[in-house]
């Protein structure tokens, strides 16, 4: 089922540029990293789940690129742009070969099933 996204025609023309440009630099940075690396983990300080995901990848011998944006009390507005872009509500956001696979628990399931290595052609 595709997720619902407000159709651009239902956004008033005077705010379209503001909506489209909402922390676009951050979204562009993550999009470039996702295009350049097979595995990207996007996280935040003091959140144990990005650390858990990175540890699981390291234990599985899988290289990854890590991006960190703020902590619980700072950077949340910028991180919100990533949540809007992906539709994923929490951190980490993990991308494999350009595809959002979810968070740390989703990653652990892919590792356990062998699917992650298949996705990476290993």
Annotate the chain with DSSP letters as a single string: -PPP---GGGS-TTTHHHHHTTTHHHHHHHHHHHHH-SEEEEE-TT-HHHHHHHHHHHHTT---EEEE---SSSSHHHHHHHHHHH---SS-EEEETTEEEESHHHHHHHHHHTHHHHHHT-
Q: Which is more confidently placed, 118 or 3?
A: 118
Domains of the chain: 23-120 (3.40.30.10)
pLDDT in tens, 15-58: 999 999 999 999 999 999 999 999 999 999 999 999 999 999 99
As a whole number, mean pLDDT of residues 95-110 equals: 98
User: Percent of the chain at pLDDT above 90?
Assistant: 97
pTM: 0.93
């Amino acid at each position: 089922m595709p997720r619902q996204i407000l159709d651009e025609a239902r956004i008033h023309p005077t705010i379209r540029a503001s909506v489209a440009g909402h922390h676009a630099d951050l979204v562009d940075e993550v999009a470039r990293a996702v295009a350049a690396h097979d595995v990207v983990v996007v996280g935040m300080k003091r959140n144990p789940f990005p650390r858990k995901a990175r540890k699981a990848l390291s234990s599985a011998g899988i290289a990854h690129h890590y991006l960190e944006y703020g902590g619980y009390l700072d950077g949340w507005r910028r991180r919100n742009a990533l949540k809007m872009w992906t539709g994923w509500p929490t951190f980490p956001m993990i991308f494999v070969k350009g595809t959002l696979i979810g968070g740390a628990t989703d990653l652990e399931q892919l590792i356990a099933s062998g699917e992650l290595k298949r996705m990476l052609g290993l």
